[in-house]
C-alpha cells in the first residue's frame, strides 16, 4: 500500500500543494462533523440530568448550524482542490507525452504503438484524474481523522475506544489483503483498456475498407476480442473486490453492535452512567465513518497506482538525442555522407553520399520503395541514420536543437493532414504569429483563396479532422499555402502537385517557382516538367543512387532516367482511339 501511495505522490508533482490543502480541509471537515457528536452529547446530558432549558436548545442549534455550515464550506473547497489536482495531474502528463512524441523516431508510430499511446492519453489518464487525488485524500485524510476520533473516544471511555481501535485495525488488515491480491489483476485491466481503445481507433479508421469489402459485422474480430478482454478483466476485479467488501462491512457492523451491547452491559453493571451509555450507542453509528472513507480509497489504490505506472511507461519511449544548439547556418546546402538507414532489419538506404548545393533545386526520382521519401525524411530527423552523417550548412543536423532544425525546413507531403480547426489556423500552423493579411497572401499564391472565400465562414470555417470535409486538391493547396507562409530556406516537396486539378496546376507551378526562388529545394517528383528544370536529378533504386546529373546529361545516357522520360512522353501522348 505504501508503495502505491508513493507512486501517486510522486506523480502528483506540482499538484501536491492542492492535495495537501485538500487533506487539511478534509480534517477540518471531520472536526465540524464532530460538532454533531458534541451537540448530541450536550442534549443527552441535559435530558438525563433532568434539565429542560430553552437555552440548551439554542446552544445545540447553534452548534449544529456551525457543523452544517463548516462541513459545507470545507467540502466545497476540498472538492475544488481535489478536482484541480486530478485534472492537472493528467493534463501535465498529457502535455509531457505530446512534447516527448515530437522527438520520437517516426518508426515508433506503428498501429500498435498508436493504439497504446491513445489508450494511455485517454482511458488510463482518465482513471488517474478521477481516482488518484481522491485515493490520496481519502486514505491519508481518513487515517488522520480516524486517529483523532479514536483518541477522542479513548479519552471519553478507554473500553469503548479500545473496541473502536481493534475494529479499525481488523478493517485495515482486510483492506491491505485486498490491495495485495489486486496487484496481479489490475495491470491486466489497464492493458485491456488500452488495447480496446486501439482496436476501436483502428476499426473507425478502417471503416471505409470494411464497408467496401462488405465486412460489416464480420471483419471486427479484433475489436470483439478487445471488448471481451476488457469485460473479463473488469469482471475479475469486481469478483476479487466483492468478498473483501463484504468482510469489511461485516467487521464494522459487528464492532458497531459490540459497542452498543457493551455500552448497555456497562450501564447495567453500573460502570457507565446513562448519558455516557447513550452517547456510546450514538458513537457506534458515527465512529467508523472516517475509516470507511479511507477504506474506499484503499479499494481502488491499486487501480490508481497501476494507471500511473502504465502512463509512466511512455517515459521509456526511445528518443532521439536532441541536446543540440540553437543554430542559424550561414548557407543551406545539404550533404549526405555515407548514409545508411533501415526499418527494423530491412535496409532502405545504402551508403548514400551526395551534396545538394545552397539555393539549388534537386529532384529525386525512382521506383516505389527505392527510399525517396525516407531520404527526405532523414533531413528533418524523422529518424536518425544508422550510419553516416547529414549536414545542413556544413553542420551535423544532430547538433541542431529540434526547433532550430525545423526552422530551416518546410515540408509539403503528398498525403496531407489538416487539423480539426479553422482553415486560417491550419495555414498558420508553421507560423502562428502570422497576420490575417499574410495568410490571405499565402492562400492566393497557393491558389486556394477562391475556394476558401466561398465556404460558409471563409477563413474561419472549421474543417473536419484530417481535412475530410475538403477534396484532395483543396487539402494539397492549403498545405502548400502553409509552407509558403512559413517561408523556410529549405523546402522539401513530396509530389506536391499530385492532387491538384489541371486548371490550377499551371498557376500553382508559377507560385511554387516564386516561393522556391533563392531557396534550397529537394523534391520527390514524377512529372516530366517538374523534373527537367531541376539543377540536378538523383535517381534512386533499391536504396542507392544509381544516376546523378541534370536532365540534358541524363537523357543522353542509357538507364533508368532515359527509360523514365521515354515512358512519360508515351503516357503524355496516349489517347483513346474509337473503333470504326
CATH number for position 231: 1.20.1560.10
> Helical H runs in 102-119?
111-119
Per mean pLDDT, which of 127-131, 205-209, 478-482 is the most reliable?
478-482
Which pLDDT tens digit goes with each residue over 36-79? 888 888 888 887 876 667 777 888 889 889 989 998 998 899 88
Identify which has the larger pLDDT, 431 or 577. 431
Query: What is the CATH classification number for the domain harbouring 479?
Result: 3.40.50.300
- Residue 140 per-residue DSSP state: I
Element (H, E) at 335: strand 334-343
Same domain, 281 and 350: no
Dist. CA 34–CA 45, nearest whole Å: 17
Better-scored residue on pLDDT, 13 or 184: 13
Residue 580 within a domain:
no
Residue 391 lies in a domain: yes
- Does residue 326 fall inside a structural domain? no
| Total count of domains within the chain | 2
* Residue 205 pLDDT: 64
pLDDT at 339: 94
Cβ-based neighbours of 10, under 8 Å, separated by 6 or more? none
496 DSSP assignment? T
Q: Are residues 192 and 84 in the same domain?
A: yes
pLDDT of residue 338: 94
**What is the band of 327 on the pLDDT scale with cuts at 50, 70, 90?**
confident
Place of cell 528544370: 533
Q: For the residues 518-526, what does the mean pLDDT come to?
A: 85
pLDDT band at 254 (very low <50, low <70, confident <90, very high): very high
pLDDT in tens, 103-154: 777 666 655 566 677 777 877 788 788 877 777 777 777 777 778 778 878 8
57 and 107 within one domain: yes
- The tens digit of pLDDT for each residue in 269-314 reads 989 988 888 888 888 888 887 777 777 666 677 677 777 877 887 7
Gap between the Cα atoms of 234 and 149, Å rounded: 35
Give dist(CA 48, CA 513) in Å, integer.
Answer: 100
Number of neighbouring beta carbons within 10 Å of residue 144:
17
CA dihedral of residues 275, 281, 284, 289 (deg, nearest 10) = -70
How confident is the model at residue 106, as a pLDDT? 67
How far apart CA 65 and CA 491 sit, in angstroms, is 72
**175 with 84, same domain?**
yes
Q: If you average pLDDT over residues 385-394, what whole number do you get?
A: 93
pLDDT classification of 203: cutoffs 50, 70, 90: confident
Same domain, 410 and 276: no
**Listed residue (128, 240, 243) closest to 180, CA to CA:** 240
Choose the most confident range, by mean pLDDT, from 287-291, 324-328, 468-472: 324-328
- Which residues span the domain enclosing 362? 334-572
| Domain shared by 296 and 374, yes or no | no
- Annotate 434-464 with DSSP letters as a single string: --HHHHHHHHHHTT-HHHHHTSTTGGGPBPP
- For residue 127, give every residue at least 6 positions away whose Cβ sits within 8 Å of its Cβ, in sequence order, or none: 190, 193, 303, 304, 307
User: What sections of 216-312 are H helices per DSSP?
Assistant: 221-268, 274-286, 289-299, 301-312
DSSP state of 329: -
Cα–Cα separations (whole angstroms), residue 110 to 198, 202, 242, 315 = 11, 11, 39, 18
What residues does 361 pair with on adjacent strands? Answer: 521
> 299 and 220 in one domain?
yes
Q: Are residues 276 and 404 in the same domain?
A: no
Q: Is residue 577, in this structure, part of any structural domain at all? A: no
**What is the average pLDDT score of the chain?**
81
Q: Does residue 404 form part of some domain?
A: yes
543, 546, 552, 557 alpha-carbon torsion, rounded to 10°: -140
| E strand intervals along 385-516 | 387-392, 395-396, 409-412, 490-494
Q: Could you tell me which residue, 189 or 100, shows the higher pLDDT?
A: 100
To the question of pTM greater than 0.85 for the whole model, the response is no
Beta-sheet pairing, 387-392 with 334-343: antiparallel
Under a CB-based contact definition with an 8 Å cutoff, are residues 113 and 197 in contact? no
Q: What is the mean pLDDT of residues 245-274?
A: 90
Amino acid at each position: 500500500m505504501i508503495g502505491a501511495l508513493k507512486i501517486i505522490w510522486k506523480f502528483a508533482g506540482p499538484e501536491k500543494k492542492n492535495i495537501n490543502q485538500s487533506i487539511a480541509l478534509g480534517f477540518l471537515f471531520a472536526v465540524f462533523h464532530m460538532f454533531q457528536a458534541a451537540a448530541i452529547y450536550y442534549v443527552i446530558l441535559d435530558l438525563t440530568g433532568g434539565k429542560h432549558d430553552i437555552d440548551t436548545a439554542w446552544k445545540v442549534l447553534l452548534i449544529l448550524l456551525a457543523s452544517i455550515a463548516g462541513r459545507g464550506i470545507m467540502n466545497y473547497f476540498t472538492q475544488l482542490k481535489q478536482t484541480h489536482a486530478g485534472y492537472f495531474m493528467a493534463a501535465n502528463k498529457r502535455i509531457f507525452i505530446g512534447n516527448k512524441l515530437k522527438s520520437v523516431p517516426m518508426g515508433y508510430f506503428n498501429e500498435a504503438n498508436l493504439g497504446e499511446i491513445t489508450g494511455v492519453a485517454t482511458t488510463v489518464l482518465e482513471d488517474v484524474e478521477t481516482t488518484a487525488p481522491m485515493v490520496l485524500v481519502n486514505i491519508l485524510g481518513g487515517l488522520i481523522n480516524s486517529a483523532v476520533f479514536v483518541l477522542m473516544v479513548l479519552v471519553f471511555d478507554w473500553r469503548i475506544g479500545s473496541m473502536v481501535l481493534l475494529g479499525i485495525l481488523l478493517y485495515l488488515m482486510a483492506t491491505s489483503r485486498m490491495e495485495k491480491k489486486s496487484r496481479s489483476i489490475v495491470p491486466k485491466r489497464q492493458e485491456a483498456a488500452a488495447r480496446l481503445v486501439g482496436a476501436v481507433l483502428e476499426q473507425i479508421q478502417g471503416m471505409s475498407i470494411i464497408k467496401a469489402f462488405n465486412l460489416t459485422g464480420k471483419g471486427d474480430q479484433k475489436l470483439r476480442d478487445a471488448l471481451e478482454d476488457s469485460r473479463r478483466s473488469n469482471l475479475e476485479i469486481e469478483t476479487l473486490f466483492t468478498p473483501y467488501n463484504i468482510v469489511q462491512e461485516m467487521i464494522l457492523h459487528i464492532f458497531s453492535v459490540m459497542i452498543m451491547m457493551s455500552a448497555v452491559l456497562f450501564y447495567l453493571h453500573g460502570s457507565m452512567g446513562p448519558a455516557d451509555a447513550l452517547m456510546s450507542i450514538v458513537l457506534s453509528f458515527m465512529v467508523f465513518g472516517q475509516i470507511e472513507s479511507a477504506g474506499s480509497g484503499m479499494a481502488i489504490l491499486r487501480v490508481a497506482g497501476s494507471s500511473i505506472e502504465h502512463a509512466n511507461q511512455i517515459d521509456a519511449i526511445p528518443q532521439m538525442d536532441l541536446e543540440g544548439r540553437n543554430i542559424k547556418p550561414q548557407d543551406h546546402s545539404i550533404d549526405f555522407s555515407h548514409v545508411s538507414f533501415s526499418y527494423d532489419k530491412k535496409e532502405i538506404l545504402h551508403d548514400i553520399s551526395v551534396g545538394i548545393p545552397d539555393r539549388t533545386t534537386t529532384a529525386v526520382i525512382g521506383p516505389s520503395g527505392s527510399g525517396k521519401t525516407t531520404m527526405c525524411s532523414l533531413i528533418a530527423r524523422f529518424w536518425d541514420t544508422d550510419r553516416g552523417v547529414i549536414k545542413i550548412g556544413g553542420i551535423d543536423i544532430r547538433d541542431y536543437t529540434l526547433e532550430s532544425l525545423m526552422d530551416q525546413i518546410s515540408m509539403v507531403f503528398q498525403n496531407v493532414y489538416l487539423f480539426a480547426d479553422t482553415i486560417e489556423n491550419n495555414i498558420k500552423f508553421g507560423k502562428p504569429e502570422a497576420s490575417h493579411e499574410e495568410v490571405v497572401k499565402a492562400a492566393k499564391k497557393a491558389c486556394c483563396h477562391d475556394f476558401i472565400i466561398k465556404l460558409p465562414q471563409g477563413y474561419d470555417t472549421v474543417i473536419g479532422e484530417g481535412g475530410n470535409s475538403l477534396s484532395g486538391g483543396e487539402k494539397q493547396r492549403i498545405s502548400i499555402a502553409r509552407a509558403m507562409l512559413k517561408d523556410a530556406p529549405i523546402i522539401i516537396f513530396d509530389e506536391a502537385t499530385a492532387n491538384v486539378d489541371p486548371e490550377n496546376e499551371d498557376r500553382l507551378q508559377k507560385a511554387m517557382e516564386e516561393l522556391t526562388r533563392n531557396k534550397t529545394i529537394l523534391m520527390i517528383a514524377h512529372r516530366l516538367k517538374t523534373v527537367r528544370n531541376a539543377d540536378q536529378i538523383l535517381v534512386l533504386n533499391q536504396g542507392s543512387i544509381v544516376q546523378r546529373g541534370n536532365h540534358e546529361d541524363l537523357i543522353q545516357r542509357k538507364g533508368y532516367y532515359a527509360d523514365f522520360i521515354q515512358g512519360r512522353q508515351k503516357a503524355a501522348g496516349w489517347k483513346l482511339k474509337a473503333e470504326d
